[in-house]
Structures are given as structure tokens and as C-alpha cells.
Amino acid sequence: MKIPLYKPYISQREIKAVVNVLKSGKLSKGQEVEYFEREFADYVGKKYAVAVNSGTSGLHLLVRALNWQKGDEIITTPFSFIASSNALLFEDVTPVFVDIDPKTLNIDANQIEAKITPRTKGLLLVHIFGLPVDYQKIKRLGKKYKLPIIEDACEALARPSHKFRVNDLGVATVYGLYENKQITSGGEGGMIVTDSKIIAQKCRSMRDQGRSFLKNWKDNVVLGFNFRMTEMQAAFGRQQLKVINKILAQREKIAEKYSALFAGIDGIITPHQLTKNQRSWFAYFIILKDKATRDQVCRDLSSRGIASSTNYFPPIYTFPMYAAVNPNCPAADDISDRILTLPLFYGMTNAEIKLVINTIINSLKK
């Protein structure tokens, strides 16, 4: 593709940092991971950060750390990357899907309470496309029913603020560092953040085969995994974190250009038209009038060498491993049929943005 859907930002700083690790001969369980954890925790305003090899691994560890198990029900969204619910299935926990708000595309906070039962043990929330969930309503529900919350912020990395309420609801939050995210730790990676020392210790142990933190560290005291981040990944991620504000600012400018140029075009709904709330721009999308139009636009983009995706977040319950789940989520079904994800990456030029937009406009004229 002439214009890819995403492209990681890589400078000479990242390359130099990785080469320095290679020269050191220490490739795992070293200081780079420890430094990255401290710096990341400081950036997002949490006491502890635990580096892992993926956001999926981070979610899995938190499900175990909270002792969610077979027979438990966890309320979550069906409109997400499948990993958010897979983390529940790994532990034989039952996901209970609540439909989305068609304006935010996040879980509809107004529908959560009706799904709470005596078997409900918590919520796994996803800040979809980098937009925070409805903080106030969900906060009240969590307190009312004493339900612990895990936040999946894999698409929502930015410094939290009163306008960007991420990692403030849950007992712990997971960020993703895959190559399509706002920043990456060399292609794969994730970070768990929390203010709970106990949760942090449990996750540190379980990511490293369940090792003890006592004197005899080789003792395996719980069932664990090999979910560790390498020194090279951490070194790469540390350099990315240093320039995250620059990266986020440019991604936001690109999104604003898209929305400005799409303004007034019949048949296109942009993220800015759906909601003005602050988001961390993980991806840019449009919503078209129907599935046939969406699919035709995707084909026309491809014919011009422009990547797009019609299948970014198919409802999770449509996958075979969720066949036993039969939720009523009409909004998720509808949005999934009409949404189209467009290229967004650091360094994207005005000419590339205009080519994407003009191709879509010409497609809609057919």
C-alpha cells in the first residue's frame, strides 16, 4: 500500500537505544525494564507500573490478580479487539456484553445496571478508539455494587487529566504498546499500572513464572507465565515515551484535518461529529450510511493503494469461541456494519490526507 493504515514512529534514538542493549549483552530482566516502568508510572500518574510482553498479557494477569474465576460474570463491551474478552475466557470467566453508546462507541453506562446479577464480580472497561468511558455514571455503579474495575486503555495512552479520565476508575489499568499504538516498545509490549502494591506484586510474580520476591527468588510460589518484556523493548519504549507529547499532538492535528475536510459531506459521520470529548487518537474512523457503501469505499481506497479496515472491531460475540453468548446489542451490530478505519500515523502528509479524502468523496459520487 502507498498509504498504510498505521506506521510506527522510529527515529535514530530508538535504534541507538536498542543497539546499546545488544552491545551490553544483557537482553532480559535488566535495568531498562525497571527504568521504563518508573518513567511510565510517572507519566500516567500511578505508583506502580509492570511491564509485560503485550496488553493482552496485562489483562490476563489482572483477571488472575483479582481472582476472577469460573462461575463469575464480568460486564464488558462487545465492541473491542477480541483480546479484552479473551482475557476472561483464559480463566473460564463469563463475559456479559452490554451494548454500546452509538455516540461514543464505548459501553453504554445506562445499560450496565440491568446486567448486574449476584454472579457479577466486576467490570472490564475499554476506552475504545482512545475515548474515555462515561466516568461519572460508571464510578457510581462501581461504588454502589462494590465491583472492582479493570480499565483496558490499550488504545488510550495520554497523560490523564480532568478532561481525559483514564486509569482513574479501576483498581488497575492496562496500556498497549503494539506497533499500531500511539507509541510502541518495538512492535510488542504492554504496561499494567496501579496504585495497589499487592496487585503490582502479584502481576510481577505471575509475569515471571510465579517467582517469589523473597530471598530465595527461584522459588515458584504461584502459577505464572513468561509474560516478560525484553530489555530491547524497554529501551525502545523509553525513547518513545520521551517524545509522546509530540507524537500525540501530530496525530490529533491529522484527525482534525480529516474531520475539517469531511465536514458537510453527505453520508459521512466523523468522530468529531459524534462527540467533542477529548481522546487520545489511536485511529481515525468514519461511519457511512450502510454496509454496502462502506465496503465499496474500502475497495476504492484499496484500488488507489490506500489501506483501510472494514473489520477493525467486529462484535466479539460473532467469533466462534463466543457462540454460547447471545446478547442483544443492536448498536454494536449497526456500527460494526458501517464503520471504516482510515490511515493515521505520525508523519502522514497533507497530500496523503487529501488523497484519502478525495478517493472517498469520488467513491460516494458513484
By the 10 Å C-beta count (0-12 exposed, 13-18 middle, 19+ buried), 81 is classed as: buried
Q: pTM for this structure?
A: 0.97
Which CATH number does the domain 12-98+106-242 belong to among 3.10.450.50, 3.40.640.10, 3.40.50.300, 3.30.470.20?
3.40.640.10
At the top level of CATH, which class does the domain 245-365 belong to?
Answer: alpha beta
Q: 122 is written with which cell numbers?
A: 466486576
Domain ranges in the chain are 12-98+106-242, 245-365
- 120 touches 75 (CB < 8 A): yes
CA 61 to chain CA centroid, Å, is 16
Question: How does pLDDT run along the chain (366 residues), one tens digit per residue?
Answer: 899 999 999 999 999 999 999 999 999 999 999 999 999 999 999 999 999 999 999 999 999 999 999 999 999 999 999 999 999 999 999 999 999 999 999 999 999 999 999 999 999 999 999 999 999 999 999 999 999 999 999 999 999 999 999 999 999 999 999 999 999 999 999 999 999 999 999 999 999 999 877 656 556 678 999 999 999 999 999 999 999 999 999 999 999 999 999 998 999 999 999 999 999 999 999 999 999 999 999 999 999 999 999 999 999 999 999 998 879 999 999 999 999 999 999 999 999 999 999 999 999 998
- Assess whether the region 12-98+106-242 and the region 245-365 belong to the same CATH fold: no
Task: Count H helices and E strands in the chain, helices first.
Answer: 12, 10
CA dist 239 and 46 (Å) reads: 20
- 12 touches 351 (CB < 8 A): no
